[in-house]
Chains A and B, each alone.
Chain A
Amino acid sequence: AQSVTQLGSHVSVSEGALVLLRCNYSSSVPPYLFWYVQYPNQGLQLLLKYTSAATLVKGINGFEAEFKKSETSFHLTKPSAHMSDAAEYFCAVSHPLGRGGKLIFGQGTELSVKP
Chain B
Amino acid sequence: DTGVSQNPRHKITKRGQNVTFRCDPISEHNRLYWYRQTLGQGPEFLTYFQNEAQLEKSRLLSDRFSAERPKGSFSTLEIQRTEQGDSAMYLCASLPGELAAGELFFGEGSRLTVL
Q: Which of A46, A102, A105 interacts with B33 by CB under 8 Å? A: A102
**Inter-chain contact total with CB atoms closer than 8 Å:** 78
Of A4, A44, A101, most buried by chain B (CB within 10 Å of CB) is A101
| Main DSSP-derived SS at the A contact region | loop
8 A Cβ contacts from B86-111 to A:
91, 93, 95, 97-98, 100-109
Interface size on A, residues (CB 8 A): 28
Whether B42 pairs with A105 at a CB distance below 8 angstroms is yes
Q: Which of A42, A105, A107 interacts with B108 by CB under 8 Å? A: A42
Whether A44 pairs with B103 at a CB distance below 8 angstroms is no
Which residues on A sit within 8 Å (CB–CB) of B43?
44, 90, 103, 105
Interface residues on B, range: 20 to 34
For A4, give the chain B residue with the smallest CB separation.
B42
Which residues on B sit within 8 Å (CB–CB) of A32?
101-102
Could you give, for residues 36-56 of chain A, a 1 whenever the CB lies within 8 Å of some chain B CB and a 0 otherwise?
A: 100001111110010100000
Closest beta carbon of chain B to A34's beta carbon, Å: 5
For A110, give the chain B residue with the smallest CB separation.
B40
Closest beta carbon of chain A to B51's beta carbon, Å: 13
Q: Which of B40, B91, B102 interacts with A94 by CB under 8 Å? A: B102
Whether A107 pairs with B102 at a CB distance below 8 angstroms is no
Whether A43 pairs with B102 at a CB distance below 8 angstroms is no
Closest beta carbon of chain B to A100's beta carbon, Å: 5
Could you give, for residues 27-61 of chain B, a 1 whenever the CB lies within 8 Å of some chain A CB and a 0 otherwise?
A: 00001010000001111110010000001100000
For B93, give the chain A residue with the smallest CB separation.
A101
Whether A41 pairs with B108 at a CB distance below 8 angstroms is yes
A residues sitting closer than 8 Å to B (CB atoms) are: 4, 9, 32, 34, 36, 41-46, 49, 51, 90, 92, 94, 96, 98-108
| New contact pairs (8) apart from A49-B102, A103-B43, A103-B102, CB-CB < 8 Å | A36-B104, A43-B106, A46-B104, A92-B42, A100-B101, A101-B95, A101-B103, A102-B48
Closest 7 CB pairs of A and B: A105-B42, A43-B106, A101-B95, A44-B106, A100-B98, A43-B108, A101-B33
